[in-house]
Amino acid sequence: MWIGRICLFSYLSAYISAFFLKPTSHRNYVAFLQKKLFQTSGFLPFGKYILRKLMQKSLNSKLRNKL
């Protein structure tokens, strides 16, 4: 249950930070969130790779195209 809250928080914070950060800073922030997600989901026995792939896809969709 708490892993879902972490995923939701990272998704929403990536969305909101896109309005306030420069594109390069936002890209670094999303990379930081992905790194932390991989660290927190490392112990999961089942569904680890599905969760990682889903969150990586959703976080990358929040990146802006301009640099």
At residue 64, the pLDDT reads: 65
> What is the pTM assigned to this prediction?
0.73
- Phi/psi region, residue 20 (left: phi>0; alpha: psi -120 to 50; beta: rest), is alpha
At residue 65, does pLDDT exceed 70?
no
At residue 33, does pLDDT exceed 70?
yes
For residue 59, with 0-12 CB atoms within 10 Å meaning exposed, 13-18 middle and 19 or more buried, which class applies?
Answer: buried
Higher pLDDT, 25 or 58: 25
**Percent of the chain at pLDDT above 70?**
93
At residue 50, does pLDDT exceed 70?
yes
